Amino acid sequence: MPESMLLAAALGVVGGALAVGLVVFLRRIVLSSKELGTDAEQATYQTLHLASQAAKHLRGGIDELDAARAGKHLRALLGCDSLAIVDRSGTIAIDGDEAVRPVAERLAAAAIASGRQQVQRRIPIGAWETDAVVAPILGSTGPLGAIVAFASPVRAGLVRATGEVADWVAAQVELGELDASRAALAEAEVRALRAQISPHFIYNSLNAIASFINTDPAQARELVLEFADFTRYSFRRHGDFTTVAEELRSIDSYLRLERARFGERLKVTLQIAPEVLSTVVPFLSIQPLVENAVRHGLESKEGGGRITITAADSGAFAEISVEDDGVGIDPEVLAAVLAGGPADAEHVGLRNVDARLRQVYGDELGLVVETNVGAGTLVRMRVPKSGPRRPSSTGTPDGRLEP
């Protein structure tokens, strides 16, 4: 009977998982009773544990949702009845009795205004009374908010602890802001790295066009239009991502302009799997590879050469490669450039693309370059089809184009 075999297999798996779970659980119980140490050690551990739990939620700032999650741990840390975290704009997150809201609002406003810690006793809330201690959260730029702890009665220990917790929260929030500005810096860096049209290329193209104006006006007109297309794409200001198809279109314009100079010496082979055409890639991430191949691989080679551009489907990834049979690059020079040589060095386009790929997809998906002097150059990249994990704050990562 196949059903009974399947059933037996399923039961076996479930039973095995349960047995493993039971063993792990028992082991933990046995070990924990032995190894937890003295009361003081346990208290230290407990405090640090609660603090680290709360810290996770404070890094994003003290808006309502995060403050409410952190408040739960902070209340346990202080051992008070209710705890309110109020931010500068007056948003309150309360853990405990909701009835203290108006009092917390009033006390917090006073503390934020004065910047000083206060204790108030015998505050009537409904039918009963409670004491409260309020401490401002003081950041380096002024008060960020306040913490109000309710207990009856408030003892000196709680007053001191509340002040310390408020300082600690301020430190965490500022750390969070530091994280945010670091991320913003990284994003700005990527934007600054966005490839620029080289002045060299503009100069060469215009010269090539000029040489056709008298001899072949139709050709000159075509080239001007290509130039317009190419610059329109490259100067695009919105969106950090595009599709492989768009990128290919720009490469086509670029190569037509280069061909005006190279003539028949520049040959191109394309092998593009249609599945990857709609893959989202960082804006101007393939064109600089082609430009690098032309400028540094083929320009100095006598008789020109061939550029092969392939884009292949590889499961959840798209593999894109640009190969030329030009003069190649000295591996040591290349390693120095990729490691961050002077910004005006040769092959800076490669470094540019490499840095942006690493920034967007992580270090394991940077450029892979195979080259040697006289042996041509093969540059490969692997891009996940699912797009960037961390979409940038501006622009649509799906590569949709605005008209």
Which is closer to another protein, CB of 4 or CB of 141?
4
- Under the criterion CB under 8 A, does residue 339 sit at the interface with another protein? no
For 81, the token pair is 């009845």
H or E element that contains 136 = strand 128-139
Residue 302 DSSP code: T
Q: What string of DSSP letters covers 370-390?
A: EE-TTS-EEEEEEEETT--SS
The single residue among 139, 304, 341, 387 that binds another protein, judged by CB under 8 A, is: 387
**Nearest distance, CB of residue 204 and another protein, angstroms:** 21
- Under the criterion CB under 8 A, does residue 334 sit at the interface with another protein? no
Site string for another protein, 5-44 (x = CB under 8 A): xxx-xx----------------------------------
For residues 325 and 333, what is the distance between their CA atoms, to the nearest angstrom?
Answer: 18
First CA to last CA distance, the chain: 63
Q: Which stretch binds another protein (CB under 8 A): 25-33, 34-42, 191-199, 267-275?
A: 267-275
CB distance 234 to 273 below 8 Å: no
For residue 230, the one-letter residue type is: F
Q: Which stretch binds another protein (CB under 8 A): 4-12, 50-58, 146-154, 213-221?
A: 4-12
CB distance 344 to 395 below 8 Å: no
- Under the criterion CB under 8 A, does residue 312 sit at the interface with another protein? yes
CB distance 103 to 152 below 8 Å: no
**Nearest distance, CB of residue 365 and another protein, angstroms:** 8
- Under the criterion CB under 8 A, does residue 336 sit at the interface with another protein? no
Q: Which stretch binds another protein (CB under 8 A): 16-24, 95-103, 166-174, 265-273?
A: 265-273
CB distance 92 to 103 below 8 Å: no
- Under the criterion CB under 8 A, does residue 124 sit at the interface with another protein? no
For residue 208, the one-letter residue type is: A
- Under the criterion CB under 8 A, does residue 280 sit at the interface with another protein? yes
Residue 115 DSSP code: -
Question: Closest by alpha carbon to 188, among 234, 149, 136, 240?
Answer: 240
Which is closer to another protein, CB of 313 or CB of 346?
313
- Under the criterion CB under 8 A, does residue 315 sit at the interface with another protein? yes
CB distance 219 to 376 below 8 Å: no
Which is closer to another protein, CB of 46 or CB of 314?
314
The single residue among 251, 281, 320, 334 that binds another protein, judged by CB under 8 A, is: 251
Residue 100 DSSP code: G
- Under the criterion CB under 8 A, does residue 72 sit at the interface with another protein? no
Which is closer to another protein, CB of 41 or CB of 398?
398
Pairing verdict, β 266-272 and 305-314: parallel
Binding site for another protein (CB under 8 A): 1-7, 9-10, 65, 245, 248-249, 251-252, 255, 267-275, 277-278, 280, 312-317, 364-365, 382, 384-387, 396-403
